[in-house]
Amino acid sequence: MKNGNIELELFLTNAAGSKTARIIDRYKLTSGAIQENWALDVEFSGGPLAGLQELCLRMDAPTRIDNSRSRIEEFAFLKLAYENGVRVPEPLFFCKDKKIIGRQFFIMRRIPGVADARRVTQFKRTIDQQDKLLFDLGTELAAIHALKPSGRDFKFLKKPRIAPALHVINQYHAALDALPQPAPILEWGLRWAQLNLPRVQIPTICHRDFRTGNLMIDGNNLVGILDWEFAAWSDPMEDVAWFCAKCWRFGFDNREAGGMGSRTAFYDAYEKASNRNIDHKAIYFWEIMAHIRWAIIARQQGERFATNGEKSLEPAMTAFIAPQLEWEVMRMTEDWGK
Amino acid sequence: MRIRPNVLDILELSKEIISNEFDDNSFDNRRYETLMMANAITIATRQLKIGDGPERKELKKILNLINPLSSPKASIGDRLADLYSHVCLEIRKGNFDPDKINHNELRNILNEAALQLVMEYNPKYLEGK
């Protein structure tokens, strides 16, 4: 973020309807591999936010990932979720003016807790505490799947005309075509997917990145669901599978629900709150797709350095996660039906 | 076929970071970057030790599977990339589907290639599997 504290303070003053807004402290938050998040401590004088407020500024990274939403679209989803009682940070203001800090951004309240997946999964919990957390997560996911976007804010949102699985396969083929290096294992996985499509579900609003690492957790409590940049219509089983996929368990493979606990606790809560049955075959399908998707993203991240010359170690090194994901794709497609 | 980017380019970037970013006052960030650099060095060392034997073997198998399109003058990595581009098109067309004669042969090649890359990039992942 550029130095523009004065411009940012002016923006905050006007957006909050206050007399002044003074930034007391700001620092980059470590979460957000694709977007940049900054903590802002702001002292407002007058207006509804008068006093010290702990805020978060979310802005685009220099390079965008395919199919990720613009900040204004993400802001619309965040507002919809907040207004419908989903646990998310309260969205406050959106700034279209790129002159303020160099890119578009939005401001939301900062919420307590930890998103860091390793810390979240390594935190010691009893079985009851795990089950309670997974109950909350299953219930919240069901609430996301009940969202009904409408109106001008969601003009950008198109329902796919084909089954979500086919739509996603097409998207991934397009992503592979855009990469400079062939990825035969991912092609193999996508062909397997075309030949083993799941039963079509009614398209539902899905978060599409609901996983450990994007969930703000305070000890044993779910505080908020972050990172709505991939939200879209899809098959609800895609979200369930993304959360449970092995690639998002951070080494705790025996805790199949996000590295935090049992699938049963998560599934039960989800089924009860959504009034929808878990389709186990579809989950297996979408877990293979999860590994394919993550491998594509890993390779795309590597290209930020290899092709675009972005001098950042994290995306460059992310590419090297692809081999283990691709190995899982081979293993899982072979195990299908066994 | 090894994954882009070339790990040696990352070592070059690491060198730049080490020399340019010592004014970074965020200890956590520096620690994280140092761990990533150490990982890049580990992968590069592993690849140097392994050499291009596995890629040569992979190339030979792929050449047995499909008609060669690539120039023999190109590097092994480039030839593999050419051949795999062709393989990808054929997979997408369904020419390696389970009912096709070469299905099992390609599956075995890909299984082996996948395993080889995990052994190069993150052998710990295979522990206990």
Tens of pLDDT, residues A233-280 = 999 999 999 999 999 999 999 999 999 999 999 999 999 999 999 999
- What mean pLDDT is predicted for residues B12-25? 68
Mean pLDDT of chain A: 93
Q: B22: helix, coil or strand?
A: coil
CA-nearest residue to B11 within chain A is A313
pLDDT band for B20, please (50, 70, 90 cuts).
low
pLDDT at B8: 85
Contact B81 A182 (CB under 8 A): yes
Examine the pLDDT at B23 and tell me if it is beyond 60.
no
Which stretches of chain B sit within 8 Å of chain A by CB? 1, 3-7, 9-10, 13-14, 16-17, 28-29, 32-33, 36-37, 39-40, 43, 81, 84-85, 87-88, 91-92, 94, 96-98, 106-107, 110-111, 113-115, 117-118, 120-122, 125
pLDDT at A48: 95
Structure-token pair, residue A153? 């804010």
Residues 6 or more apart whose Cβ sits within 8 Å of residue B118: A323, A324, A327, B125, B126
Residues 6 or more apart whose Cβ sits within 8 Å of residue A68: A34, A229, A230
Contact A316 B97 (CB under 8 A): no
Rounded to two decimals, the pTM is 0.91
Taking contacts as CB-CB distances below 8 angstroms, the residues of chain B near A195 are 97-98
- Cis geometry, peptide bond prior to residue B5 (ω within 30 degrees of 0): yes
Beta bridge partners of A41: A25, A54
Contact A313 B97 (CB under 8 A): no
pLDDT at B6: 87
The residue of B9, B13, B32, B61 whose CB has the most chain A CBs within 10 angstroms, and thus the best one to mutate to test that interface, is: B13
pLDDT band for A87, please (50, 70, 90 cuts).
very high
Q: A204: helix, coil or strand?
A: strand
Structure-token pair, residue A110? 């900062």
- What mean pLDDT is predicted for residues A180-203? 95
pLDDT at A31: 54
Structure-token pair, residue A209? 């990145």
Contact B5 A330 (CB under 8 A): no
User: Do residues A222 and A133 make contact, with C-beta atoms less than 8 angstroms apart?
Assistant: yes
pLDDT at B66: 85
Beta bridge partners of A93: A107
Q: Is the dihedral of CA A146, A151, A154, A159 positive or negative?
A: positive
pLDDT at B7: 87
CA distance A93 to A44: 14
Examine the pLDDT at A63 and tell me if it is beyond 90.
no
Q: A93: helix, coil or strand?
A: strand
pLDDT at A13: 97
The nearest CA of chain A is from the CA of B20 a distance in Å of 12
Q: Please report which residue ranges of chain B form alpha helices under DSSP H.
A: 7-20, 27-50, 53-65, 76-93, 103-121
CA distances from A164 to A69, A94, A198, A273, A288 (A): 18, 30, 10, 22, 15
Contact A188 B110 (CB under 8 A): yes
pLDDT at A30: 67
Which stretches of chain A sit within 8 Å of chain B by CB? 30, 173, 176, 180-185, 187-188, 190-191, 195, 299, 302-303, 305-306, 311, 313-314, 316-317, 319-324, 326-327, 329-330, 334
pLDDT at A175: 96
Residues 6 or more apart whose Cβ sits within 8 Å of residue B72: B79
Question: Which of B1, B87, B125 faces A324 most closely, judged by CB atoms?
Answer: B125
pLDDT at A112: 95
B88: exposed, middle or buried (Cβ count in 10 Å: 0-12, 13-18, 19+): buried
pLDDT at A62: 64
CA distance A272 to A140: 11
| CA trace torsion A24, A30, A34, A37 (10° rounding) | -10
pLDDT at B70: 60
pLDDT band for A201, please (50, 70, 90 cuts).
confident
For chain A, strand residue ranges (E) read 20-28, 36-45, 51-59, 91-95, 105-109, 204-206, 215-218, 221-225, 232-234
Q: A257: helix, coil or strand?
A: strand
CA distances from A3 to A26, A27, A63, A107 (A): 11, 12, 20, 17
Mean pLDDT of chain B: 86
Taking contacts as CB-CB distances below 8 angstroms, the residues of chain B near A184 are 84, 87-88, 91, 110, 113
- What mean pLDDT is predicted for residues B49-78? 84
pLDDT at B71: 66
Structure-token pair, residue A165? 């699985």
pLDDT over 90 for what percent of chain A?
83
Q: At what angle do helices A127-145 and A236-244 cross, to 10 degrees?
A: 150
Contact A30 B28 (CB under 8 A): yes
- What mean pLDDT is predicted for residues B36-60? 91
pLDDT at B69: 59
Contact A319 B3 (CB under 8 A): yes
Examine the pLDDT at B44 and tell me if it is beyond 80.
yes
CA distance A226 to A3: 26
Asked which of A24-28, A78-82, A190-194 is least confident by mean pLDDT, the reply is: A24-28
Contacts 24+ apart (CB under 8 A), A163-167: A163/A197, A163/A200, A163/A235, A164/A200, A164/A201, A164/A203, A164/A233, A164/A234, A164/A235, A164/A238, A165/A193, A165/A197, A165/A198, A165/A200, A165/A235, A165/A285, A165/A289, A166/A194, A166/A197, A167/A234
pLDDT band for A108, please (50, 70, 90 cuts).
very high
Contact B3 A182 (CB under 8 A): no
Q: At what angle do helices A280-306 and A322-335 cross, to 10 degrees?
A: 160
pLDDT at A5: 80
The better pLDDT of the pair A323, A59 is held by A323
ipTM above 0.90, yes or no: no
CA distance A89 to B3: 37
Contact B96 A330 (CB under 8 A): no
Residues 6 or more apart whose Cβ sits within 8 Å of residue A314: A33, A301, B32, B36
Asked which of A297-301, B70-74, B94-98 is least confident by mean pLDDT, the reply is: B70-74
CA distance A235 to A202: 7
Question: Which of A191, A313, A334 faces B36 most closely, judged by CB atoms?
Answer: A313
CA distances from A321 to A89, A296, B2, B19 (A): 30, 10, 12, 27
Beta bridge partners of A216: A224
* A118-159 tens-digit pLDDT: 999 999 999 999 999 999 999 999 999 999 999 999 999 988
CA distance A212 to A225: 10
* A20-33 tens-digit pLDDT: 999 999 998 865 55
Q: A94: helix, coil or strand?
A: strand
